[in-house]
Amino acid sequence: MQPKNMLVILSDEHNPRVLGAAGHPQILTPNLDRIAARGTRFTAAYTNCPICVPARAAFATGQYVHKVRCWDNAIAYDGHIPSWGHRLMEQGQHAAAVGKLHYAGTDPKRDGFDEEILPLHIVNGVGDLLGLIRDELPRRPGSLRMGPEAGPGESEYTRYDRSIVEETCRWLERTARRPHGKPWVLYVGFVSPHFPLIAPPEFYCLYPESGVPWPDMYEPAHRPRHPFTDAMRKCLCFDEPFDPPMVRRALAAYFGLVTFLDDNIGRILRALETTGLAAETRVIYSSDHGDNLGTRGMWGKSTMYEESAGIPLIMAGPDVPAGAVCHEPVTLVDAFPTIVQGAGLRPDPRDDELPGTSLLEIARGRAPQRTILSEYHAAGAPTGSFMIRRGRYKYVHYVDMPPMLFDLDADPGERRDLGRDPGAGPVIADCEAALRRIVDPDAVDRLAKADQRAKIAEHGGTEAILKKGTFRYSPPPGVDATYF
């Protein structure tokens, strides 16, 4: 395998099912579909944590969340654990970033980049302190605005994404004029289709509100009950203000934002072609996590259902099997060894214990089967949740709560939870044993809560945090966060 450049594109909150190449009947994603057609699409790809900051820390370091201890959106990656970018720079290769990173703050060398362009990081270097409070979950009313505001228009985020495209194209043009000499890695971080669910009109109008599919299990009587998701629904105020027209506007806007994202990716791919860099560049597209999109009456992320914990993942370019579909489970921690191998770096013995495997090897069937892990310790979670894929089964372990178990072959929509089915006992025992070979969930739950309590004390205690309030989402550079 020859070392090549790598363009890594990471979006925010892209439900893996809302992709043309994945078989969605309505969504228009021609540019992503073309990447999939000339490369490999991974059908069982997962985030290592279904919320932004921890997922991005895992993506950067190739380590699970309980190892890096970036538990939530107030404890962000600060460079103290080496990233794939650090490994590139150590061996004289260029690593650049444009757009959203969601780290502790702007410090390129510390973060693992030679340059950061238009970076978005946690608010004021502090982030979402309200998400630290888990002993008694606070009510988070920010979700109440999601439905009423949904529709056509422009937002801070759509304007930011357009500027990311412009800066990325300029970077490619400069690089074509002044090559780096060795393979480079360019990371591009978009915020779409993350809420606010406001889509540019030309994309919103592609999806008539009357034609968008109604969310599965949306009606209250059809929603599954579990103490974890019940607590999360109450804390995060899922869909309280939604009426049917709002639901349809929200979905039409989300679909519009996905197509807007695809259009922006298309502009970057065209720049890659016109600069003459395409033939020597591998492209990876993924997202930090998914979005529930109203399924089971939930919006946003934070759950271990496929809509939220699942992510799209496609890769194309030299040495990547073309027109291929890979069903082997993969996660964001696999990006680290993929980038290191693709750039032709010498393996570093300090990385021998990382849990990931190069996607270049997995795509070609050269990697062993693994048990992959996702975990969640953030906003709305009364206790730690841990998910593994084991063959056809998805097992979700909750500390001090009943587990969930789904047979994804027989039940891809996760409509039947086998976690309390006596006949599933042997499978549950096997899955729990497999989980505990990776992580001690009880010890990690205690560690996460201890770290979060320490951070709460650092910021004046629970009452001070509650009094200050919170913001809905991290604003782009140059825009102040609005607290409420």
453 pairs with which residues across the strands? Answer: none
pLDDT at 469: 87
Residue 10, classed as helix, strand or coil, is strand
Using CB atoms within 10 Å of the CB of residue 224, give its burial: 0 to 12 exposed, 13 to 18 middle, 19+ buried: middle
pLDDT in tens, 13-37: 999 999 999 999 999 999 999 999 9
pLDDT at 470: 86
Give the integer Cα–Cα distance in Å for 364 and 129: 43
Residue 308, φ and ψ in degrees, nearest 5: -100, -50
pLDDT at 242: 83
Structure tokens belonging to residue 22: 């994945």
pLDDT at 431: 98
CATH of 5-368, one of 3.40.50.720, 3.40.720.10, 1.10.3720.10, 3.40.640.10: 3.40.720.10
Q: Judging by DSSP bridges, how do beta strands 330-331 and 45-46 pair with one another?
A: parallel
pLDDT in tens, 188-211: 999 999 999 999 999 999 999 999
CA 100 to chain CA centroid, nearest Å: 12
Give the integer Cα–Cα distance in Å for 345 and 340: 5
Nearest to 265 by CA among 50, 98, 84: 98
pLDDT at 381: 98
Q: What is the pTM of this model?
A: 0.97
Using CB atoms within 10 Å of the CB of residue 265, give its burial: 0 to 12 exposed, 13 to 18 middle, 19+ buried: buried
Using CB atoms within 10 Å of the CB of residue 88, give its burial: 0 to 12 exposed, 13 to 18 middle, 19+ buried: buried
Give the integer Cα–Cα distance in Å for 466 and 18: 36
End-to-end CA distance of the chain: give it in Å, rounded.
53
Give residue limits of the domains in the chain: 5-368
Question: Dihedral sign, CA of 312, 58, 331, 188?
Answer: positive
Low-confidence ranges of the chain (pLDDT < 70): none
pLDDT at 114: 98
**Length of the chain, please?**
484
Give the integer Cα–Cα distance in Å for 420 and 402: 7
H or E element in which residue 6 lies: strand 5-11
331 pairs with which residues across the strands? Answer: 46
